Amino acid sequence: MKFRLALLSLCLMSAAATAADNGFYLGAGALRSKFDLDNPLDSKDTGYKLIAGMRLLDSFGVEVNYADFGKASVPSGVACMALVGTNCPDTTKVEGKATTAFAVGFLDFPLVDLFAKLGLSISDGKLRTPNFSSFNQSDKNTDVVWGLGAQAHFGSLGARAEYERFKLFGDQKLDIISVSLLYTFL
């Protein structure tokens, strides 16, 4: 009897999961960013992302994301001694934000989807050294970005884990790992 009840529950969950696949969805999540600028400027921080998308087919959707990569601290004293001949603050703050439009391809399974996404990102990166404005740097550009992930869905609710690669300050990479909650409007 327990086996039949468990099997019936799995079938119902599977039917509910596939019913919410297509449609408009919104989501929000937390992310961990790794600013990989140049050695020793390599630091991590946490941030957040907002997601809006439309899954047009079981295997294809479009999505717009806003991500705040956080504000990491990196050592700056070495650069100041070499360039200015004086001590500087111990750290420089690095931060970044991006708005991205993605095309998303899905491999659809009953409860879990695997996905890959490719898109264009308008990013804004900043390096700030307190009291030394001559060392400050800003970078605004448009670049190709990509990501991979998996999402589980139960009816209209979903949870997603993903990896994405961005660029800041020219060709310097910015890697993020995020977890998000999604709600699909049927």
Residue 172's CB is within 10 A of a number of other CB atoms, namely 15
pLDDT at position 74: 67
Q: What is the pLDDT of residues 146-174, one digit of tens each?
A: 999 999 988 889 999 999 998 877 777 88
DSSP notation for 38-90: ETTEEEEEEEEEEEEEEEEETTEEEEEEEEEEEEEEEE-HHHHHHHTSS---S
Q: What is the pLDDT of residues 103-123, one digit of tens each?
A: 999 998 888 999 999 999 998
Helix (H, G, I), strand (E, B) or coil at 115: strand
How far apart, in Å, are the Cα atoms of 183 and each of 26, 55, 100, 137? 6, 12, 19, 38
Q: Evaluate whether 75 touches 87 at the Cβ level (below 8 Å).
A: no
pTM: 0.76
Is the pLDDT at 141 greater than 70, yes or no?
yes
Please tell me the distance from the alpha carbon of residue 151 to that of residue 115, in angstroms, as a whole number.
8
Token couple for 141: 């550009």
Helix (H, G, I), strand (E, B) or coil at 8: helix
Is the pLDDT at 14 greater than 50, yes or no?
no
Domain extent for 150: 2-185
CATH number, residue 72? 2.40.160.20
More confident: 113 or 81: 113
Q: How many domains does the chain have?
A: 1
pLDDT at position 125: 83
pLDDT at position 107: 94
